[in-house]
Structure 1
């Protein structure tokens, strides 16, 4: 019998997927020494990633006259840059990320049985399969990186070059392990998208629970509790949106640049195997953006559904004071919670994702026409 995926198991899986990069925030009572070790580890990850990035950049510059080698060298530049961007965001907003994560964990620890049933039915059962697939896909790609040199008879998993001879042992083995470790970093940092999505989905789940609670209140005292809970939830959701923003921006930026490069590679005269690889990487990039757009869209609707739930109450049978309080809730709920990208970009939603796809395909079509006109 298939084991059921629960809320606690979902959090455990996401947490485990980030283990190698020590990304999940520590508790508030953690010793300063452990916090310092975590930050030092992040800096070490940056240095290791920069070393691989430098070797691939060197190979890129050295192979400008060889199209296939040039493309192979460029494929790993953006995922490694993505790792550095995520780590810098993590260090910059660590306290805010720690705060919202601990509140999420407290909510999951104190959740009531009937609330857990609603969360299970409305969220875990519907969305866990997709994000589990994405996490598996990211780490399966890493497995392909492991076996690549064996199958393709190549010296290293990623195309890289050095100003010294790295073809002899033990330098070759050290370089190989170095690239595998950075490959683990890349897979784990792609799973950060699932972590951010988890924060958004559980913020939406709390709005859903509040909606169900509002439909059952019968007196002003219960309403006062719900209003207080609503205000706290709005503050928390805004904090989650602000926390997700920089990571979403990094993902959108590197995914966009990667997709444009992949499209450029696809329409040039490269080998069929490279084209298949570009299709696979482009699919992964599109999935990354969708992992943010889907929960952000849901949060927009569920945060405004509070007003509908209040309106459906028997407010016409209540006192004037009761109705005025309901009116306050309705007015506040008309402003949705948006995950607005920095730098003047629009908010994340499925409409934005559709526009994003349209723009990418427009770039791809334009580049194809330009190449056809130039006879390349």
Structure 2
């Protein structure tokens, strides 16, 4: 029995560490994509002719495909983290309203913080990548376009017009993962836990009476 319990603890710890490493790797890849967008925006600011502008646009298209591939790889991991956070918060609210040992309550609180940290590890770089993907249009606007030729001005206008941010989203579930979504999710989850605890307290009082 001790061997089985110890093996189960080791396996659980290994899974938690592996999941943490995978989440860190996904967050770093998103940060890397955002950094490349920022570097490209700086390169665009030093643009002087149509040839270098075309090269920047080609780099932007390749970089956008790369960022979309990264998002596709980790989209379902984010969905798993959100579903698990919601489930654990529901359990935590139920356990908090019941007469359970303090160590059990503390365990569920730590699990909630653990997976909320996972979600934040995706929300922060995803929000930054969205801003950096729009930095190219701002860089084109900050150029001295009024000193350029008419053809160059038209090309810069095209760069500013056809800009769509790269966002981490899941159809019908997450419109856009960002810091604003994270704060909204956290606020709604805490409100749900509070409401559920109040309902359970009322049911307990009715049963007692």
Which residue in 1 is equivalent to 2:78? 248
**Unmatched 5+ residue regions in structure 1?**
1-166
Q: 2:173 aligns with which of 344, 347, 364?
A: 344
**Unmatched 5+ residue regions in structure 2?**
none
Residue pair 1:204, 1:303 contacting (<8 A) in 2 also:
yes
Mapped partners of 2:178, 2:166: distance in 1: 11
Mapped partners of 1:287, 1:174: distance in 2: 30
**Partner deviation per Cα, 1:94-144 (whole Å, 9 max, x = no partner):** xxxxxxxxxxxxxxxxxxxxxxxxxxxxxxxxxxxxxxxxxxxxxxxxxxx
**Partner deviation per Cα, 1:76-111 (whole Å, 9 max, x = no partner):** xxxxxxxxxxxxxxxxxxxxxxxxxxxxxxxxxxxx
**Partner deviation per Cα, 1:128-172 (whole Å, 9 max, x = no partner):** xxxxxxxxxxxxxxxxxxxxxxxxxxxxxxxxxxxxxxx3xxxx4
Superposition map of 1:264-343 within 5 A: 264-333=94-163, 335-343=164-172
Greater helix percent: which structure? 2
Residue pair 2:93, 2:194 contacting (<8 A) in 1 also:
no
Residue pair 2:92, 2:108 contacting (<8 A) in 1 also:
yes
Find the residue that maps to 1:191 and give its secondary structure.
helix
Which residue in 1 is equivalent to 2:204? 375
Mapped partners of 1:174, 1:340: distance in 2: 41
Q: CA deviation at 1:330?
A: 0.9
Superposition map of 1:144-163 within 5 A: none
Q: 1:262 to 1:191 in 2, by over 3 A?
A: farther
Residue pair 2:131, 2:165 contacting (<8 A) in 1 also:
yes
Which residue in 2 is equivalent to 1:111? none
**Partner deviation per Cα, 1:286-330 (whole Å, 9 max, x = no partner):** 111111111111111111111111001011111122112111211
Q: 2:182 aligns with which of 339, 349, 353?
A: 353
Superposition map of 1:170-181 within 5 A: 172-174=2-4, 176-181=6-11
Residue pair 2:167, 2:177 contacting (<8 A) in 1 also:
yes
Superposition map of 1:107-146 within 5 A: none
Q: 1:258 aligns with which of 88, 98, 111?
A: 88
**4+ runs of 1 displaced by more than 3 Å?**
none
Q: CA deviation at 1:174?
A: 4.9
Residue pair 2:89, 2:112 contacting (<8 A) in 1 also:
yes
Residue pair 1:248, 1:341 contacting (<8 A) in 2 also:
no
Structure showing greater relative contact order (alpha-carbon pairs closer than 8 Å, 6 or more residues apart): 2
Q: CA deviation at 1:173?
A: 2.1
